[in-house]
Structure 1
């Protein structure tokens, strides 16, 4: 059985973003920062859509908490389709459904990473669809994610590739949920990453590994 890819504790890059926060705070009025993320073309009227990928059987509570925390700031969506619920093997149909009904129209995919997320094929497919569209990508280390004996954390392989390339952000749950402004800053930081760093060459997972 393939081994999970591993990354460092997400606490390590927390200090990468204070300069971005300071710049945005100095550049944009407070009322603008609180409307649609930090800024948007229709302040206060249109909520930016973010897609959240996660292991539904294991981490539903974290998705619910994230959605509740930011429902005033973002249109938080996930894939609750019948195909996912019945664990469909029709990969092409499911991928098209993910791209057309969930990824298209969103601006960022946030992957909630728990203990079994690394081996879930639908999470891999959702990350692939995100990168196919060249959307931004953030991995979130959930409090429930236990470190391995070497101190590293198991993450989905496709997410791992893009953390290592510098395209995806890897942050903690406490960090991204600390405030709407902080979440918006991280989403904007992810959106600013150069698309040349996208790594999407892995074969799709054909079955769950965890």
Structure 2
């Protein structure tokens, strides 16, 4: 049975560019595990620059998110502190009559701290909290095999249909980056 390659929007902090590029080379270019969408060296696309937050959000949705079904949040040491990551997560979780949310999977990069690491607040809102039986988002350590990544991406894709009622996305957008 052939594996379906899902189109995945890659959200990350640019300080982790080298690790993200390696991840894309290993799992998209060489292993054909998924199709990378987004902004970065290993992904085709224009950088959206504007002082208008609404314009940037709209262009990210139009150019990258509308053509993807799963958002891969690449977790590095300071990912939690970046406003663009928050904006991309907010857009990924958006839903409506004509808009389906993306599945959401966090992947800890090799440089992610073993202890003391933080997740972006919007991502954390969508993980299982105290007293909750289930949640929308999932996270994993850096994949050690193509199959583990394929399984996790497919599970995130399926949750778009089965778990949208668990999406938590009321938080205001971050206005500024935080100090890491």
TM-score w.r.t. the length of structure 2 is 0.80
How many residues matched? 158
Q: What is the CA–CA distance in structure 2 between the aligned matches of 1:141 and 1:172, rounded to whole Å? A: 5
Runs of 5+ unmatched residues, structure 1 = 1-28, 37-46
Other structure's SS at 1:124 match: helix
Q: Which residue of 1 aligns with 2:174?
A: 205
Determine which of 48, 58, 64 is the counterpart of 2:6. 48
Q: Which residue of 2 aligns with 1:187?
A: 153
Q: Which residue of 2 aligns with 1:143?
A: 110
Deviation at 1:102, TM superposition (A): 0.5
Distance 1:89 1:164, change over 3 A: farther
Runs of 5+ unmatched residues, structure 2 = 41-45, 95-99, 130-134
Deviation at 1:152, TM superposition (A): 4.4
| Residue 92 (structure 2) pairs with residue 130 (structure 1) | yes
Q: Which residue of 2 aligns with 1:101?
A: 63
Higher relative CO (Cα under 8 Å, sequence separation at least 6) belongs to 1
Does the aligned pair in 1 maintain the 2:7–2:70 contact within 8 Å? yes
Distance 1:139 1:73, change over 3 A: closer
Aligned Cα root-mean-square deviation (Å): 1.7
TM-score w.r.t. the length of structure 1 is 0.70
Q: What is the CA–CA distance in structure 2 between the aligned matches of 1:204 and 1:157, rounded to whole Å? A: 11
Q: Which residue of 1 aligns with 2:47?
A: 82
More helix by share: 1
Q: What is the CA–CA distance in structure 2 between the aligned matches of 1:102 and 1:63, rounded to whole Å? A: 17
Other structure's SS at 1:134 match: coil
Q: Which residue of 2 aligns with 1:157?
A: 121
Q: What is the CA–CA distance in structure 2 between the aligned matches of 1:152 and 1:116, rounded to whole Å? A: 11
Deviation at 1:126, TM superposition (A): 0.5
Q: What is the CA–CA distance in structure 2 between the aligned matches of 1:66 and 1:77, rounded to whole Å? A: 13
Q: What is the CA–CA distance in structure 1 between the aligned matches of 2:39 and 2:166, rounded to whole Å? A: 26
